[in-house]
Structure 1
Amino acid sequence: MIPSNYLEKVYAGYLGMNIGIRLGAPVEPTIWTYERIKNTYGEITDYVKEFKNFAADDDANGPYYFLRALYDDAVDRDITPNDVARAWLNYAREGIGMFWWGGYGVSTEHTAYINLKKGIPAPQSGSIEQNGLIIAEQIGGQIFIDTWGLVNPCNPKKAADFGEAAARVSHDGEGVLGARFFCAAISKAFETSDIREIIEAGLAEIPADSIYARVSRAVLEFHAQQPNDFRACRDMLERDWGYDKYTGVCHIIPNAGIYVLSMIYGQGDFNRTVEIATMCGWDTDCNAGNVGTVLGVACGLEGIADKYRKPINDSIVMSGISGYLNILDIPTYAKELTILGYRLAKEPCPQEIVDSFTDRDIYFDFELPGSTHNIRVSDPFFCQARHSTEKAFRGTGSLEVIFDRMTRGEKSKVFYKPYYTRADFSDERYSPTFAPRAYSGQKVSMNIYLDQWGGNETMGIAPYVRLHKSKKELVQGYVKLVNQEWIEVEFVIPDSEGELIDEVGIVLESYSTRKPKSLGRIFIDEFRISGKADYTIDFHKQSGDFGCVTPFAHNHGAWSLVDGSMYLMTAEPSEAYTGNYFATDYSVTLDLNPQIGDSHLVAVRAQGAMRGYHAGFDGKDQVSLYLNDFGYTKLTGASYPWQFGQDYELKVTVQGQVITLFINGEQVLQHTDGTFGYGMYGVSTLGAARTYYSNIRVTEL
């Protein structure tokens, strides 16, 4: 039976995972040894590094992207290793992001991915037989499985079974047992906050004579003798279960000892548990992330310290093939996981949760306790934002923005960030790429309540969006707020003229003269970005970020900006994707200039590297439409005389099940196929080619 507080527990668990990853990531080995962490930071009681924005790593990518197998394949049945293997191949850009690409036979994930690409199916792809004992028993089988526990609450065995199925894509032996242990522990944490019960639930799902169980029992026995000194227990692990005995880059067994150590010595306290996991070294981000999920669920939101939660600000970015999916709002994702959990349990999901979730648009209702949905302020001297339950336009929650002693002309922006580039990050962690989550033609709406405490004029706001490249702010008309009243504010995002939009929100401005200054607060509720997009991409206004041309995610090939075009040079099949992952009916128009090669295509309704449609030039005087469903099938073709070095306008329209290709305004192909109903757009080639692409226009129908 799913608990009544399931959504809040999922939210806390997912926050906990990302807090642990962020806490542990700056001291991840191999340079950061246990001794070096201790000598440098001593007792860790807060984040050791500030990030402009935190780019997640493999510990977050795997749980997020592999779960999409529940949408793509295992829609009405239990998960299998092959389902998850297909998610590996579909959502990863080969060699970039998602995993640690440390080399075949070195990185377990890299090894498994190459095996899958070469036709070795799961679970053989991760087996001891295929890869040997050491590779198969590294830590990755455990660090990618948190969400399987979150969607199987109060059912440790089912959670463990799902975790094992997912882990077997890349791991075997003790590596799979780690997945079973943690999925069961996460599932049990929905029922109890007793950390010993949670650990025992995990151990119940693995063989008692396994090495994983033995190292766990060794930690529990040591704790019984020395319950107040986690460092003494860490010394025992180094001596009896260390990396010298369990080799490879990052073996699961020494880290399994850290998991149990941090949980039992953390005594059920979320904050202390992730701190201990980080201080103990070895695989710090993995260890703190996994125990963060367990303790997040067990302790709930109230158990997570504000110093850890506030910098997360409800946001995490990923590193998969979809730049749209890479921008994650944690409360929204918690709702998605909750809906999946009810589906898997075959229980009806509460309608209010269903109604509050959308993956197609942006919708922030501020209902989850403490949620901010990554809304920010530009001037923290004048304004502070926080969650509130004091006022709400609908439901019980809103975002409260306190403005403090502002005078005429002083302003602060309150905004959501729907797009990122390299400049927004402190480091190169896992090379994320992004597609905006707001576009010209869409409607922005929100409800605002003014509670003004001081000042001789009421406050005003102006809706705005900011363009990324020029930093130009497209400010709409000013609206004077009405004290003690809710007002609805809405506007259509204006033409961005080929630029990308990286801020959407309001400018909050004081109209008061110098004395008395404006003091008070506004409440924001029901924030939405929705409707049909209609926009262009001007490559004169784009840049090269993380090895890609914005706003595309590239898979294979060499891509660059040349004279206002995106230029591809490749010796192999290559592709580039962008746009709303959930877009259904739309047209994509672009100028294409083929330089060499037989294949120059436009992709539509692409759901990853292995799923989508591709239409365009396909050999001498030929055009074709292909279906890519883990292999390309030609759906239809026609004769069309095209030449190298010539500019062509290609337009592909998808509406319902009808796919139409136009070249220079002439319809040359039309076909009906219902395999894919939504997806990204982009460009691609099925072989060696050089091509220029420019003047992209996307119109949702």
Structure 2
Amino acid sequence: VDGARFMAACVAAAYTASSLDEVLDAGLRFLPEKCDYRRVVEAVRAYHRSHPAEADFRACREMIAREFSDEEYPGGYHIVPNAGICILAMLYGKGELGRSIEISVMCGYDTDCNASNIGTILGVLGGLGGVPERYRRPINDLVTLSSVSGYLNLVDLSDKAKELGALSCRMYGGTLPGDIVCPRPGELRMDFPFPGSTHGLELSDKAEHTLRIVPGKAHSGAFCAELMTDGKRAGPVDLSFKAMLTRPDLHEERYDPVFTAKVNPGQRVGVWMKSEQTAPAAVTVTPFVRRAMTGERVNMPAAVLSEGEWTEIVFTVPELGGDAVHDVGWTVETKPDADPWVMGRVYVDEITVTGAMDYAVNFSLQREEFSQLTPFAFNDCAGKREGDAMRFTAEALPYMTGAQAFTGNYYLRDTAVSASVTVESGESAFVLLRGQGTRRYYALGFSAPGECAVLRYEDGRLTKLAAAPFVRQPGREYALRAEAKGEVLTLFVNGTPVLEASDSRYAYGMPGLGLTAAGETLWRALHISGEC
């Protein structure tokens, strides 16, 4: 509790503080006069005052190990010595985010938590300008998380900054600047609102082409992306962003992250582009999507840019045969009308992904990654591919209130999910709607011998919203379809509506599959449609 108080107070103070000492003083005001946490903070600050050279951080680390030893604070992850490392790193790093994080990691102990606490405090204190380019460039605005929502696990930092700003305005009053436009939850908008914000855009070739964020050229707002081509070595280049990640995209596998696509068949993808060339040239733009499992590229109709004019290029993501979208992009090809042609620029702004989605999940294409089966995140259960089906297994656990496999957009509202299921053991098989985590969702399907039901899970508590008799034959495959329209939840079995319930608790969430208890089921022909 002391550590939570201290770190939260430091982050809050960093928004208005002018120095690191001011931040640390604010944190100390929230600690009891006599506590181990205060003792380690004050000990490190005192050591730094008498040994301020950066090279002295190693001796300070030895002091922490000696005065706040593993014998007194065992486990390697104890909060007290780790608090000392955080203070040490910020002081000897002189409040510079990059160097402070590097010192904290060199000191050992709980390296990831210490670095994240330091990064949060100093990131707020120093602002965007305090984040060194050696961190920003490789991160490229993208951070991966590990949670039960594969949709939320791929974070666009520019989008997240807008989201947090809007949340702050709703909670405390105020409005966002006019050029900050937030997308609807579940949709994407990449409009480069901040200096250097890249939204994770990538180039297939960085020798002949460069990408940077520039002011004063945008279709709307303050900034846009500028794609520059070297005329001496002109060639086509792909400009793209990741709609989801797979295992080969990652350099590190800690915490077993899973992902589901943020762009799906049926949705509308748009971008504004403008060509500015040093001499007459034809600039052709070919949109494409790339399949996540097969890697196959699917091209859309090409467009030709008019010189000096903004052009909107729009396409609808096609059905991909049950595969997912891995990346979305545009091939930009410049063909000069005549020599000499020195250099060309294409400006890019307002990349959007909007509208309803309608797609299948072909189990025969999926891969086992991070002990999961794409594109699902499993909780208290496991999934294995069997031909064109998925075997879904949950073992009896003392704390089990249900087993879930979530996928899809976290913000789906009106939704329809269909799949065929064979119950091989146990009594339950459910389609899940509007899942907001492992303890908040609707479940529609077979609930007990001779019964089907519509259930609501809320913080581990189960509420039966509706139930009806249904005699299920052992070993038979059944087609389940679950729909959510407004407050109405409907269950279909083999095309026939068998149950309807009304509930307003959850307005949006992920689709998925689930069990209420231990069991084994075989699922095939999963199809998801809906809008956010």
Normalised to the residue count of structure 2, the TM-score between the two structures is 0.94
Which of 289, 300, 318 is 2:127 aligned to?
300
**CA 1:291–1:570 in 2, change beyond 3 Å: closer, same or farther?**
closer
**CA 1:518–1:649 in 2, change beyond 3 Å: closer, same or farther?**
farther
Is residue 29 of structure 2 the alignment partner of residue 204 of structure 1? yes
In the alignment, which residue of structure 1 is the partner of 2:462?
A: 632
Q: Are the counterparts in 2 of residues 364 and 525 from structure 1 also a CA contact under 8 Å?
A: yes
Q: Are the counterparts in 1 of residues 163 and 182 from structure 2 also a CA contact under 8 Å?
A: no
In the alignment, which residue of structure 1 is the partner of 2:441?
A: 612
Q: Are the counterparts in 1 of residues 276 and 307 from structure 2 also a CA contact under 8 Å?
A: yes
Q: Are the counterparts in 2 of residues 407 and 510 from structure 1 also a CA contact under 8 Å?
A: no
Is residue 281 of structure 2 the alignment partner of residue 451 of structure 1? no
Is 513-522 or 478-487 further displaced after alignment?
A: 513-522
**CA 1:561–1:300 in 2, change beyond 3 Å: closer, same or farther?**
same
In the alignment, which residue of structure 1 is the partner of 2:245?
A: 420
Which of 72, 76, 79 is 1:249 aligned to?
76
Q: Are the counterparts in 2 of residues 356 and 365 from structure 1 also a CA contact under 8 Å?
A: no
**CA 1:424–1:348 in 2, change beyond 3 Å: closer, same or farther?**
same
In the alignment, which residue of structure 2 is the partner of 1:320?
A: 147
Which of 330, 345, 349 is 2:157 aligned to?
330
In the alignment, which residue of structure 2 is the partner of 1:574?
A: 403
Is residue 349 of structure 2 the alignment partner of residue 525 of structure 1? yes
In the alignment, which residue of structure 2 is the partner of 1:588?
A: 417
Q: Deviations over 1:577-622 (max 9, x none)?
A: 1111110001111111222221111111111111111111223332
Q: Deviations over 1:452-482 (max 9, x none)?
A: 235x522211111111122121111111222
- 1:353 deviates by 7.5
In the alignment, which residue of structure 2 is the partner of 1:101?
A: none
Q: Amino acid of the residue matched to residue 531 of structure 1?
A: G
In the alignment, which residue of structure 2 is the partner of 1:29?
A: none
CA distance in 1, matches of 2:377, 2:301: 36
Q: Deviations over 1:58-84 (max 9, x none)?
A: xxxxxxxxxxxxxxxxxxxxxxxxxxx
- 1:270 deviates by 2.4
In the alignment, which residue of structure 1 is the partner of 2:267?
A: 442
Q: Map of 1:92-241 to 2, 5 A cutoff?
A: 176-228=1-53, 229-241=56-68
In the alignment, which residue of structure 2 is the partner of 1:98?
A: none
In the alignment, which residue of structure 2 is the partner of 1:656?
A: 486
CA distance in 2, matches of 1:610, 1:694: 25
Q: Deviations over 1:90-132 (max 9, x none)?
A: xxxxxxxxxxxxxxxxxxxxxxxxxxxxxxxxxxxxxxxxxxx
**CA 1:633–1:535 in 2, change beyond 3 Å: closer, same or farther?**
same
CA distance in 1, matches of 2:251, 2:139: 15
Q: Map of 1:377-416 to 2, 5 A cutoff?
A: 377-405=203-231, 410-416=235-241
- 1:569 deviates by 2.5
In the alignment, which residue of structure 2 is the partner of 1:646?
A: 476
Q: Are the counterparts in 1 of residues 76 and 109 from structure 2 also a CA contact under 8 Å?
A: no
Normalised to the residue count of structure 1, the TM-score between the two structures is 0.72
In the alignment, which residue of structure 2 is the partner of 1:490?
A: 314
- 1:219 deviates by 1.6
Is residue 367 of structure 2 the alignment partner of residue 543 of structure 1? yes
- 1:406 deviates by 6.9
Q: Are the counterparts in 2 of residues 366 and 398 from structure 1 also a CA contact under 8 Å?
A: yes
Q: Amino acid of the residue matched to residue 510 of structure 2?
A: M
User: Which has the larger share of helix?
Assistant: 1
- 1:320 deviates by 0.7
Q: Deviations over 1:631-688 (max 9, x none)?
A: 1111111122321222221111110111111111111111111111111111111122
Q: Are the counterparts in 1 of residues 76 and 110 from structure 2 also a CA contact under 8 Å?
A: no
In the alignment, which residue of structure 2 is the partner of 1:264?
A: 91
Q: Deviations over 1:382-425 (max 9, x none)?
A: 322222214111010112222223767x3221111011112222
Q: 3-state SS of the aligned residue for 1:459?
A: strand
- 1:178 deviates by 1.4
Is 581-590 or 231-240 further displaced after alignment?
A: 231-240
Q: Amino acid of the residue matched to residue 414 of structure 2?
A: D
In the alignment, which residue of structure 2 is the partner of 1:461?
A: 285
Q: Amino acid of the residue matched to residue 626 of structure 1?
A: L
CA distance in 1, matches of 2:211, 2:18: 31
- 1:239 deviates by 2.3
CA distance in 1, matches of 2:214, 2:465: 54
Q: Are the counterparts in 2 of residues 366 and 372 from structure 1 also a CA contact under 8 Å?
A: yes
Q: Amino acid of the residue matched to residue 526 of structure 2?
A: I
In the alignment, which residue of structure 2 is the partner of 1:138?
A: none
Q: Are the counterparts in 1 of residues 261 and 324 from structure 2 also a CA contact under 8 Å?
A: yes
Structure 1: unaligned runs, 5 residues or longer: 1-175
Is residue 300 of structure 2 the alignment partner of residue 476 of structure 1? yes
Is 572-581 or 650-659 further displaced after alignment?
A: 572-581
Q: Are the counterparts in 1 of residues 192 and 224 from structure 2 also a CA contact under 8 Å?
A: yes
Q: Are the counterparts in 1 of residues 179 and 220 from structure 2 also a CA contact under 8 Å?
A: no
CA distance in 2, matches of 1:194, 1:178: 21
Q: Are the counterparts in 2 of residues 321 and 577 from structure 1 also a CA contact under 8 Å?
A: yes
User: Which has the larger share of strand?
Assistant: 2
Q: Deviations over 1:491-549 (max 9, x none)?
A: 11111121100111211123248965673222211111010001111111111111112
Q: 3-state SS of the aligned residue for 1:603?
A: strand
Structure 2: unaligned runs, 5 residues or longer: 397-401
CA distance in 2, matches of 1:582, 1:671: 21
Q: Amino acid of the residue matched to residue 333 of structure 1?
A: K
Q: CA RMSD in A?
A: 2.0
Which of 109, 116, 128 is 1:289 aligned to?
116
Q: Amino acid of the residue matched to residue 201 of structure 2?
A: I
Q: Deviations over 1:320-356 (max 9, x none)?
A: 1111111111111122222333344x32233637742
Is 377-386 or 184-193 further displaced after alignment?
A: 377-386
Q: Amino acid of the residue matched to residue 187 of structure 1?
A: A
Q: 3-state SS of the aligned residue for 1:662?
A: strand
Q: Percent identity?
A: 35
Q: Amino acid of the residue matched to residue 119 of structure 2?
A: G
Q: Are the counterparts in 2 of residues 457 and 511 from structure 1 also a CA contact under 8 Å?
A: yes
Which of 105, 115, 135 is 1:278 aligned to?
105
Q: Which 4+ residue blocks in structure 1 deviate beyond 6 angstroms?
A: none
Q: Amino acid of the residue matched to residue 425 of structure 2?
A: I
Q: Deviations over 1:165-223 (max 9, x none)?
A: xxxxxxxxxxx211111111111111123111111111111123222112211222222
- 1:571 deviates by 2.8
- 1:444 deviates by 0.5
In the alignment, which residue of structure 1 is the partner of 2:399?
A: none
Aligned residues: 523
Q: 3-state SS of the aligned residue for 1:540?
A: helix
CA distance in 1, matches of 2:108, 2:32: 27
Q: Are the counterparts in 2 of residues 452 and 458 from structure 1 also a CA contact under 8 Å?
A: no
Q: Amino acid of the residue matched to residue 253 of structure 2?
A: E
CA distance in 2, matches of 1:478, 1:699: 28
